[in-house]
A = this chain, B = another copy of it.
Amino acid sequence: MSEIEVLKIASRSEPKAVAGALATVIRKNKGVELQAIGAGAVNQAIKAIIISRGYLSPNGIDIVFAPSFTNVNIDGEERTAIRLVIETK
């Protein structure tokens, strides 16, 4: 896994759309992480992971995630984001 794709999730992100993107990246065997700022965005990210597990399960792929904090700079302001690094089992 040479590249890591970062999917930025907002509270208005559509979980099914994110789940589709996530499944596509994982099927290509690339590394992927979701990045979310705020409770609404974190909730959408978790829903997307749950939905993508259903998309990947027919391919015999199961995923788990390892969460961590990270600092991101948005318009010159430091914000704490939550990173969800996806791992295949």
Distance from A53 Cβ to chain B, minimum over Cβ atoms (Å): 7
Distance from A84 Cβ to chain B, minimum over Cβ atoms (Å): 8
A-side interface size class: 20 to 34
Q: Which residues of B sit under 8 angstroms from A62, Cβ to Cβ?
A: 66
Q: Contact between A87 and B64 (Cβ–Cβ < 8 Å)?
A: yes
Those of A34-57 within 8 Å (CB) of chain B: 38-40, 42-43, 46-47, 49-50, 53
* Bound-state Cα–Cα, A65 to B67, Å: 8
Q: Contact between A67 and B39 (Cβ–Cβ < 8 Å)?
A: no
Distance from A2 Cβ to chain B, minimum over Cβ atoms (Å): 22
Q: Contact between B67 and A66 (Cβ–Cβ < 8 Å)?
A: no
